């Protein structure tokens, strides 16, 4: 049978007719903001009316309006910069992932197929006017232009192949178990496509801090400011996160202006973004315009209130921000991308499975195992069927799994990383209130016709 990537209800396109209450709620919110409504609400071309923003201009704009809202023009960039095959997980703010088969075509994900995770609109930044401020607890605060950062006599240029994975990848499986706090518009119901690998070029943040005379005593964290804004519960915020200094010191944070040999696409953070190796995607701040050395992790809501991991027994009654762990390193995880869930597969004793495997925190997959019987017997994917090993990127894999049984079967995948971490068996084992880092064995059901 034909398989569509659109998912019912939670996921795929938001079918607003099915959610009249939510639609009303969104319409109410939109009345208070000065940006065009998303396509479902306003079927006209979106005007490009927002000001050219540099770091300084952005701050002025933010102060002058007292609202700081940048018109949401991300939809334009979706049409221009992304493949028409993208699955729009949320249209507003724009969040999208590629279809499974397209994602599996390349070890290094082409820019038009790379997933997009936005909390708000896409700021328009003039690269000629762009500045990056480095301040806080550094010895010599500096303002650098893009030309300064690209001046190779000041900073050695660095290229790394690194995976970005959203902590929401595979959230749909947790939603099916129990939707938790996920019934907020901003929580995207991702499938297995919110991951990719790209070749990033830029400078090491460590070198930039060194250029600023290093850190003052007490500086332990580095705060990253993105020029976009988003709203939550009626308030408007800047996208701000922080990472520990030791991560930067390890040389694992890149300030990148190139993605796969091209200037960063606007929707991926043009002209400059952070790429934090092995951490959840959330820390890789896009549209970066300011960096501050600070004592404690950032007070910003994205850092303190989002991206928290609650143990599985925490729910509506007892979820407090203070109960959550701040998620940084990505755990080991994997997915079967082909065949697809609920597919009928005609075969002659072997079914070809394809997928990805990834581990964060500087670990990498060393062994991938698949099961054709719901997890009783596991087969190793031959190591030569795993793609190139990079320290900070995923590995694609494929295997011909012997299958004798006919009818509905459950296929699983699990991965071991080089620190011998592996994945929990059941979604429930790692289910958490905010539905982050779905790390359990990925399962699909197929109808086997031998």
Residues at the site binding ligand MTE, with contacts judged by CB under 6 A: 114-119, 164, 166, 226, 228, 239, 268, 281-282, 284-287
Query: Distance (Å, rounded) from C-alpha 325 to C-alpha 434?
Result: 11
Residue 167 CB, nearest approach to Mo ion (Å):
5
399 binds, among ligand MTE, Mo ion, none (CB under 5 to 8 A by kind): none
Residue 276 CB, nearest approach to ligand MTE (Å):
9
118 binds, among Mo ion, ligand MTE, none (CB under 5 to 8 A by kind): ligand MTE
Residue 355 CB, nearest approach to ligand MTE (Å):
19
| H/E stretch holding 100 | helix 100-103
Contacts of 24 (CB under 8 A, 6+ apart): none
Q: Where are the alpha helices (DSSP H) in 126-220?
A: 146-150, 171-177, 205-211
Structure tokens at 60: 């002025």
Query: Distance (Å, rounded) from C-alpha 72 to C-alpha 103?
Result: 27
3-state secondary structure 131-175: EEEEEECECCCEEEEHHHHHCCCCCCCEEEEEEEECCCCCHHHHH
Query: Distance (Å, rounded) from C-alpha 250 to C-alpha 217?
Result: 18
Residue 224 CB, nearest approach to ligand MTE (Å):
8
Q: Which is nearer to ligand MTE, 167 or 423 (CB)?
A: 167
Query: Distance (Å, rounded) from C-alpha 152 to C-alpha 207?
Result: 12
239 binds, among Mo ion, ligand MTE, none (CB under 5 to 8 A by kind): ligand MTE
In the numeric block, the tokens 């592996």 are attached to 422
Residue 401 CB, nearest approach to ligand MTE (Å):
31
114 binds, among Mo ion, ligand MTE, none (CB under 5 to 8 A by kind): ligand MTE
Residue 448 CB, nearest approach to ligand MTE (Å):
35
435 binds, among ligand MTE, Mo ion, none (CB under 5 to 8 A by kind): none
Q: Which is nearer to ligand MTE, 187 or 204 (CB)?
A: 187
164 binds, among ligand MTE, Mo ion, none (CB under 5 to 8 A by kind): ligand MTE
Q: Which is nearer to ligand MTE, 243 or 403 (CB)?
A: 243
268 binds, among Mo ion, ligand MTE, none (CB under 5 to 8 A by kind): ligand MTE
Minimal CB distance to Mo ion: which residue? 166
Task: Give CA separation, 153 vs 19, 68, 148, 259, in Å.
Answer: 56, 37, 9, 22
285 binds, among ligand MTE, Mo ion, none (CB under 5 to 8 A by kind): ligand MTE
Q: Which is nearer to Mo ion, 81 or 306 (CB)?
A: 306
Residue 377 CB, nearest approach to ligand MTE (Å):
35
Q: Which is nearer to ligand MTE, 137 or 241 (CB)?
A: 241
Q: Which is nearer to Mo ion, 166 or 255 (CB)?
A: 166
221 binds, among ligand MTE, Mo ion, none (CB under 5 to 8 A by kind): none
Query: Distance (Å, rounded) from C-alpha 285 to C-alpha 276?
Result: 9
Q: Provide, for the chain, the percentages of residues in helix, strand and coil under a 3-state DSSP scheme, each rounded to the nearest 5.
A: 20, 30, 50
Report the interface residues with Mo ion, using CB under 5 A.
117, 166, 281-282
Query: Distance (Å, rounded) from C-alpha 438 to C-alpha 334?
Result: 10
Q: Which is nearer to ligand MTE, 14 or 166 (CB)?
A: 166
Counted residue by residue, the chain has a size of 450
Q: Which is nearer to ligand MTE, 118 or 204 (CB)?
A: 118
- Determine whether 375 is exposed, middle or buried from the number of CB atoms within 10 Å of its CB (0-12, 13-18, 19+): middle
88 binds, among Mo ion, ligand MTE, none (CB under 5 to 8 A by kind): none
In the numeric block, the tokens 């070749």 are attached to 199
Residue 170 CB, nearest approach to ligand MTE (Å):
13
Q: Which is nearer to ligand MTE, 211 or 392 (CB)?
A: 392
Query: Distance (Å, rounded) from C-alpha 435 to C-alpha 357?
Result: 20
Side-chain half-sphere exposure of 436, counting CA atoms within 13 A: 23
Query: Distance (Å, rounded) from C-alpha 332 to C-alpha 420?
Result: 10
Q: Which is nearer to ligand MTE, 57 or 268 (CB)?
A: 268
303 binds, among ligand MTE, Mo ion, none (CB under 5 to 8 A by kind): none
314 near 323, Cβ under 8 Å?
A: yes
Structure tokens at 125: 């930044």
Residue 94 CB, nearest approach to Mo ion (Å):
13
Structure tokens at 127: 């690269």
Structure tokens at 108: 């290094």
Q: Which is nearer to ligand MTE, 118 or 439 (CB)?
A: 118
Give φ, ψ of 91 to 5 degrees.
-90, -20
Residue 315 CB, nearest approach to ligand MTE (Å):
23
Three-class SS of residue 324? coil
Residue 164 CB, nearest approach to ligand MTE (Å):
5
């Amino acid at each position: 049978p034909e398989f569509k990537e659109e998912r019912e209800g939670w996921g795929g396109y938001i079918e607003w007719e099915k959610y009249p209450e939510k639609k009303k709620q969104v319409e109410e919110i939109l009345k208070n903001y000065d940006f065009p409504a998303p396509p479902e609400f306003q079927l006209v071309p979106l005007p490009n009316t927002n000001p050219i923003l540099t770091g300084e201009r952005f701050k002025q704009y933010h102060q002058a309006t007292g609202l700081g809202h940048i018109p949401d023009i991300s939809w334009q960039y979706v049409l221009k910069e992304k493949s028409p095959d993208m699955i729009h997980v949320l249209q507003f703010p724009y969040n999208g992932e590629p279809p499974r088969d397209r994602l599996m075509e390349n070890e290094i994900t082409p820019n038009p197929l790379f997933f997009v995770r936005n909390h708000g609109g896409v700021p328009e930044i003039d690269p000629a006017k762009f500045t990056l401020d480095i301040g806080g607890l550094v010895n010599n605060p500096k303002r650098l232009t893009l030309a300064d950062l690209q001046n190779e006599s000041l900073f050695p240029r660095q290229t790394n192949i690194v995976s970005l994975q959203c902590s929401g990848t595979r959230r749909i499986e947790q939603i099916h178990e129990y939707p938790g706090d996920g019934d907020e518009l901003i929580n995207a119901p991702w499938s297995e496509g919110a991951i990719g690998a790209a070749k990033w070029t830029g400078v090491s943040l460590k070198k930039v801090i060194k250029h600023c005379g290093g850190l003052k005593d007490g500086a332990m964290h580095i705060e990253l400011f993105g020029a976009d804004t988003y709203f939550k519960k009626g308030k408007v915020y800047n996208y701000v996160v922080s990472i520990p200094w030791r991560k930067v010191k390890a040389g694992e944070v890149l300030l990148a202006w190139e993605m796969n040999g091209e200037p960063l696409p606007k929707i991926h953070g043009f002209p400059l973004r952070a790429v934090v190796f092995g951490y959840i995607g959330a820390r890789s701040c896009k549209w970066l315009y300011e960096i501050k050395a600070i004592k404690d992790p950032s007070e910003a809501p994205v850092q303190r209130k989002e991206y928290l991991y609650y143990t599985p027994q925490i729910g509506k009654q007892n979820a407090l921000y203070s109960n959550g762990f701040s998620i940084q390193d990505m755990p080991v995880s994997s997915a079967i991308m082909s065949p697809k869930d609920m597919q009928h597969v005609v075969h002659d004793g072997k079914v070809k499975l394809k997928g990805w495997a990834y581990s964060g925190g500087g670990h990498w997959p060393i062994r991938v195992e698949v099961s054709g019987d719901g997890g009783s017997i596991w087969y190793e994917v031959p190591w030569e069927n795993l793609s190139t090993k990079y320290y900070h990127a995923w590995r694609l894999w494929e295997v011909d799994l012997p299958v004798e049984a006919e009818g509905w079967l459950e296929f699983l995948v699990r991965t071991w990383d080089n620190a011998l971490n592996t994945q929990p068996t059941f979604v429930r084992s790692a289910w958490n209130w905010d539905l982050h880092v779905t790390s359990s064995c990925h399962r699909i059901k197929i109808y086997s016709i031998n």
